[in-house]
Amino acid sequence: MVKVEEGQFVNIDGIKTFYIKKGKGHPVLLIHGGAPGACTFVSWRSNIDWFANNGFAVYAFDQPGFGKTDNADDFSMEYRYRHTKAFIEKMGLERFHMVANSQGAYIAFKIALEDERTGRLVSTGSGTVAPKGSAESQAQAKVHGEQLREYKPSRENIKNMTMKTLFNKELVDDDLVETRFQMSIGKNYEAQLKRKKAAPPEPIIEELPTLKTKTLLIWGANDHGVAIERGLLLFQLIPDAEFHVFNQCGHWCQWDQKDRFHAIVNSFLKDSV
């Protein structure tokens, strides 16, 4: 499993930004979500080494206000998107795939809509991008969103949140709980509070039918926050997409169904190389 000591820092738009670069091959950018404690070392800790050992150059970074990256003055999703674009430029990536989880998919889709250097896009369970769906799906999303926004740091609270994030409860061990807790306190909790007041992201749903990037959507059948229905609606909007649903899987497909996730993503990305 990747270690946090393998990471390094780079200045992106004046922000001290933490990232891990590992492996050789076609560049793959890993973009984490926006829940409390989300960051490279939590969201992708079970995946970075796998990508690096299977012919990819992994670029996994912490967005502003998350993980070990400093806070910015702007706490909006739009700034996180601009910061990601600046990271890509700083790394000198000429052609790259993107694998994004949850809120991170908004950033990935927006880049893919604008940047022809995008190879392929993998997205898991993103309520930020997917259509709202039925009243039932909207109610489910509302409860989930409120729980994330109202999080107050404690080990008990982060454990309960992670138990809802993942279907396979045995994965929620003391190490994961402690790591996610440490990534949810201090300047990251301050950022969480300030994100509540930030401007919402600009809608991109009407642009998705113009997306030229081949896209793989992966959804957990047991996702507490984003219903399968919404994934299917998103799939129907994208011209060149595949849609996979994992049973016994929550919001972090890359954790709950790690081996199957790796197999499907590997086949999808390698097919383009």
* pLDDT at residue 171 tops 70: yes
**Segment 111-134 mean pLDDT:** 95
Note down the domain range covering 40: 4-270
Total domains, the chain: 1
Mean of per-residue pLDDT scores for the chain? 95
Helices (H), 73-225: 77-91, 104-114, 135-149, 155-165, 174-182, 187-195
- The pLDDT tens digits for 179-219 are 999 999 999 999 999 999 999 999 999 999 999 999 999 99
Determine the Cα–Cα distance for residues 58 and 163; give it in Å rounded to an integer: 28
Distance CA 234, CA 56 (A): 27
CA 22 to chain centre: 18
The reported pLDDT for the residue numbered 231 is 96
How confident is the model at residue 271, as a pLDDT? 80
Predicted model pTM: 0.96
CATH number (domain holding residue 221): 3.40.50.1820
pLDDT tens digits for 58-103? 999 999 999 999 999 999 999 999 999 999 999 999 999 999 999 9
